[in-house]
Amino acid sequence: MSAIYLDHAATTPLDPEVRAAILPWLGELFGNPSSAHGYGRRARAAVDDARDRVAAAAGCASREVVFTSGGTEADNLALRGVLERWGAERGRHLVVSAIEHEAVLATARELAEAGRADLTVVDCDRQGRIDPAAVASAVRPDTVLVSVMLANNEVGTVQDVPAIAASVRARNPRSLVHTDAVQALGRLPLGLGTLGVDLLSLSAHKAYGPQGVGALVAGHGVFPAAQITGGGQERERRSGTENVAGVVGFGAAAELARRRQETDAAELSRLAGWLTDLLTESVPGLEATGDPAVRLPGLCSFVVRGCRSELLLAVLDELGVCASAGSACSSGAPVPSHVLAAMGFGDLAGSALRLSLGRSTTGADVQAAAERVQVAVARVRGGGGIAAPIR
């Protein structure tokens, strides 16, 4: 039984073009970008070229791209760095949504618990949508930063970030706006101006690039205080010798994402819609989650009554389907989804199933995955057979 990889929201396979771009920097090319000699200058040129490519994909100026170790560090730099840079001047109040990735939500709560910030968490509706008016009502004269993600990594709902940003600025023009766009690169239009935000987080490995590299896009003049200090790299915004191989790979992946976005998004939306229809029609007690209309291309999310996520995923793994319950954590063990809990799913938050498609997913994969999910659900529920035939 061949494996079907449907966990692209957790990580994507390295694209062959990206691998080819990286390989020389794991061998004969090894200079430090801060060195003045030829090896260093060549490494610096490679980092600068990658920065240009990421900027083109992110819809920003090259000088606005700060390379990090990934999306989590980018989110941390946005929250901690903005609070440190402007907290005394603009206030210490943070506003985040209840369905943020833990890189934002846990960081904001930690800052509040340490007494470094005041925090307001804005709720969502049953489909995971954040009301711009609710965000605006949470904004105060001392609100320094509002952070609402562009596309949710668990249920796929895409927020109206431009409307949210506009509502924030109407309430307090001094408040900065950040969006976690880690899931969006190569799937949704980006850009500080397009989205109306000041800061934007990205990660390479969600877009067929290498793990361990990401970026915070910070608008001109909106430079958070560095959280890693030392050598002053990245224009003193994030010290540490650049991960040249990773950065080069990020640049190559970003270029591919920019070129392929329209075609990739259309095909992923088609396949995900088909898979969702197959499962909702054939598996009793399975309910699609997230906004059915405005959602991340390629992400299917469900709750499955009578199935605990950890058991369902174990059976699916035996059947050759690589899936998840939501956001990956360090233990690898599913925990009840805080996103589904915030959406009002209660006990069903522990019965989540996420199937996230990618460039390599085929129609045959969709058909086979739907059949195997039926078998897995029946086994977990104790029925042992297929719930209903696939049409």
CA-based angle 64:69:71, to the nearest 5? 70
Q: How far apart are CA 141 and CA 130, in angstroms?
A: 21
Widest Cα–Cα separation across the chain? 69
Name the catalytic one among 60, 124, 307, 329. 329
Q: From the centroid of its chain, how far is CA 233?
A: 25
Residue 324 has what DSSP assignment? B
Determine how many CB atoms are found less than 10 A away from the CB of residue 229.
11
CA 30 to chain centre: 30
Strand partners, 151: 158
Question: Any idea of the CA torsion for 54, 56, 61, 65, to the nearest 10 degrees?
Answer: -10
329 classed as catalytic:
yes
Who's near 10: CB < 8 A, 6+ residues apart? 324, 328, 356
DSSP 8-state secondary structure symbol assigned to residue 207? G
- Phi and psi for 74 in degrees, rounded to 5? -60, -45
What residues are labeled active site? 329
